[in-house]
Amino acid sequence: MLTGEARASIERLSDPSASVDAAYRAQLELADEVRGRLIELLTARKRLEMQVGAWERSGVRQAEVEALREEIAALREREEAVSAAADEMRRRADALRAEREITKARVAAARAGIAADSSIGGFTPQAIEIRTLLDDARDRTLELEARAAALAELVARDSGQQALRRPPQ
């Protein structure tokens, strides 16, 4: 589990879009959690409203029913506040989603630029291999030319010495 966390941290460092993506996912989780809490509040309020109905039918004292209605009203206010917070969190998540897409596009553009500049500058593995092959071919060509020149010189010397050794006819 720690290894996975370490890999994720390294990935976020090397890929900014991964960081924004992680923030987006965290924001969505928070928004979902708030929505879940809102559902719990709504459920509790509905239960209290059902209890009020049951108390009214059974003839429980009016003061107790009114206290319960006040509690229901307070729950409604709380629901509205939580609902507004959930909406705000959803807006933030939408903004992060847009930022995530922009960041991914920027990262892709930067990587494409790096790749293009590397190709133009000859820094790609293929360009380095081509340079190595050309350098090797030049070295072998120079070596062959030097050998050919040395052989030609030897032949010329040998021809000159043989001419000196031959008696005139």
pLDDT in tens, the chain (169 residues): 656 665 665 555 577 888 888 888 999 999 999 999 999 999 999 999 999 999 888 888 888 889 999 999 999 999 999 999 999 999 999 998 898 899 889 888 888 888 888 777 766 677 778 778 888 888 899 999 999 999 999 888 888 777 666 665 6
Residues 53 and 33 in one domain: yes
Look at the chain and report how many structural domains it folds into: 2
- Host domain of residue 128: 122-169
DSSP string for residues in 61-89: -HHHHHHHHHHHHHHHHHHHHHHHHHHHH
Residues 77 and 140 in one domain: no
Give the CB-side neighbour count of residue 135, counting CA atoms within 13 A.
6
**Global confidence as pTM:** 0.55
Helices (H), the chain: 2-14, 16-58, 62-121, 125-165
Query: What are phi and psi for residue 54, nearest 5 degrees?
Result: -65, -40
Which residues, in sequence order, are CB contacts of 48 under 8 Å at separation 6+? Answer: 68, 71, 72, 75
Residues 150 and 83 in one domain: no
Count the Cβ atoms, other than its own, within 10 Å of residue 24. 21
Which residues, in sequence order, are CB contacts of 141 under 8 Å at separation 6+? Answer: none
Residues 55 and 95 in one domain: yes
Residues 9 and 66 in one domain: yes
Chain centre distance of CA 9? 11
Residues 51 and 73 in one domain: yes
- Kindly compute the dihedral angle of the four CA atoms of residues 51, 55, 58, 63, in this order, to the nearest 10 degrees: 170
